[in-house]
Structure formats: C-alpha cells, structure tokens
C-alpha cells in the first residue's frame, strides 16, 4: 500500500509541474459550456409562459436550476473523465510495454489508479481558481445544501471517479483481444456523453420509459447526472441512499470485472514489442 501512496506523491509532483497546461485545458473546456448555456437560454426564452406568471419550468428545472445543473455536471466530469486511459492501456498491451508491470512488484491497475488519483488532485488544485470565479459569478442560481448533502455529494464524486476509472480500464484491457480500441472508445464517449446527463438532465427522456428505466440501473448516470442531482437535493431520503448503494455496487462490480478481465487477458499476452 505504501508504494502506491509513494507513486501518488511522485505523480502529483510531476503533474503540478504542468500547471499552465491545466489552465489552458480548463479554458477550452469552458467553451462548450458557454455554448450549452446559450442553447438553454434560447430554449427557455422560446418556451411557453405560464398563465399565472410563474417562472418557466422544463421537466422540473427552472432556468436557474438548469444552469446550476450544467455547472455541477462539469464538476462531476472533472472526477469521472479519464482521457487517454483506455488507449494508453491498449497501446501498452499492443507494443509490449505491459511487461514493465510484470517484471516489477507493481500491479498495473493499482499503479494507474494512483497515477490518475494524483492527476485529479493536481487538476482540481490548479483549476480551483477559474472554477471558483465561475461559480461565484453564478452564485445566485445555487441553494447551498446541508452538511449531510455535502457528504453524500462528495461520496458520489469519489464513486464517480472509481466507476469512470474501472470502466475505461476495462475498455483498455480489451486490447488483449483487439488490435485497436481508439475507434471503439470514440463511440463509447459519444454514447456516454448523452446517457450520463452531460448535455441535459435525464428527465428529458421521460417519454421513453424503458430507456430511463435502463439508465437507472446502468452506471452511466453516475458519471455526471447523479452527483449533480444530489447537490441540487433532487435525490433525498430513501432515493438518495438507494442511489448511493447502486453507485457503490457499480464501483465494486467494475473493479472485480476489471481485475478478472486483466487476469484472463494475461493468459493471452505474449510480451512482443517494447
């Protein structure tokens, strides 16, 4: 355990050396968010007005709540997105570089988990200021939750990180059998972008009850949608506890499946290249 904490410390020091890159990446991530804001502004502006003069509501979200949701989704993605993880694992398998983990007393999955954990800590630390400014500018759209909601929200983000990591690691480990996973990863990213609630709340899919029922038990909503709903206190009581338990079950299930897939894949590995 101590060696992986050391890896976490070394990786954190390494990532903090590239603070400018983090700031630049954050800036470009804000651009799609601005576009999404403008889109929803147009949607609410064109929506029919209530006869009693009440604020326009779409699937239970007022304009302010929708903006708050979209901002919170960015925080969820900060934890759950794993750019380059799957392709990196697949390339190590294909090029023979995987043997560096097999020849040393280091487990590949725990090493990568420590490395990604350091990456997330560094990213959050270096982007806290621009995100803090953004949330301050939109502070009027938020109602700060109570301490138990804060705790549930933080737990949902940690579990989102684990789900995102092991989900992408499983795709990368498929490189034991597939020559290339880049195209497949591209398709998966497009799919998860919509079904994880990154573009809109999943309530908008209410006309498709079978789809929403499936998304309730699949892990994708826990990458972005569910943590945002926890913070907005739209998941409370039994519904919140059940949601956290399902998210925890997916994190453990993907961990077990990932390790099994890795164990089976090693039987097919020839360690050519490198």
pLDDT tens digits for range 260-273: 999 988 887 765 55
270: Cα separation from own chain's centroid: 33
- Of 54 and 117, the structure prediction assigns the larger pLDDT to 117
Quickly state the pLDDT bin for 206 (edges 50, 70, 90): confident
- DSSP lists the bridge partners of residue 57 as 62
DSSP E strands in 139-225: the ranges are: none
- 138: pLDDT strictly greater than 50: yes
How does pLDDT run across 64-85, given as a tens digit for each residue? Answer: 888 899 999 989 988 998 888 9
Give the whole-angstrom CA distance, residue 216 versus residue 114.
29
Question: What is the rounded CA–CA span in Å between residue 61 and residue 176?
Answer: 45
- With a pLDDT cut of 70, the percent of the chain lying above it is 85
Q: Is the pLDDT of residue 53 over 80?
A: no
Residues 195, 189: Cα–Cα separation, whole Å: 10
Q: Measured between alpha carbons, how far is 138 from 71 in angstroms, rounded to an integer?
A: 9
- Over 90: is that where the pLDDT of 152 sits? yes
User: pTM value?
Assistant: 0.87
Judged on CB neighbours under 10 Å (0-12, 13-18, 19+), 228 is buried
Q: What is the pLDDT of residue 268?
A: 77
pLDDT at residue 274, rounded to an integer: 47
């Amino acid at each position: 355990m101590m060696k992986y904490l050391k890896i976490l410390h070394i990786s954190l020091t390494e990532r903090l050396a590239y603070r400018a890159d983090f700031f630049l990446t954050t800036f470009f991530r804000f651009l799609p968010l601005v576009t999404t804001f403008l889109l929803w502004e147009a949607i609410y502006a064109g929506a029919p007005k209530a006869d009693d003069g009440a604020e326009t509501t779409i699937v239970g979200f007022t304009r302010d709540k929708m903006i708050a949701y979209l901002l919170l989704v960015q925080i969820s993605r900060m934890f759950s997105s794993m750019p380059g993880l799957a392709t990196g694992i697949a390339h190590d398998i294909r090029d023979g570089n995987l043997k560096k983990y097999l020849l040393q007393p280091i487990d590949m999955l725990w090493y990568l988990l420590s490395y990604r954990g350091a990456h997330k800590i560094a990213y959050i630390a270096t982007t806290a200021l621009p995100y803090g400014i953004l949330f301050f500018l939109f502070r009027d759209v938020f109602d700060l939750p109570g301490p138990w909601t804060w705790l549930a929200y933080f737990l949902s983000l940690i579990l989102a990180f684990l789900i995102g990591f092991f989900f992408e690691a499983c795709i990368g480990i498929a490189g034991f059998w597939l020559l290339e996973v880049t195209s497949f990863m591209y398709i998966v990213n497009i799919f998860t972008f919509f079904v994880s609630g990154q573009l809109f709340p999943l309530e908008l899919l209410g006309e498709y009850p079978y789809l929403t029922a499936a998304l309730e038990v699949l892990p994708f909503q826990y990458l972005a949608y569910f943590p945002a709903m926890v913070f907005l206190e739209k998941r409370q009581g039994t519904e919140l506890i059940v949601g956290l338990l399902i998210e925890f079950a997916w994190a453990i299930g993907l961990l077990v499946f990932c390790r099994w897939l890795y164990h089976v894949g090693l039987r097919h590995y020839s360690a050519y290249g490198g």
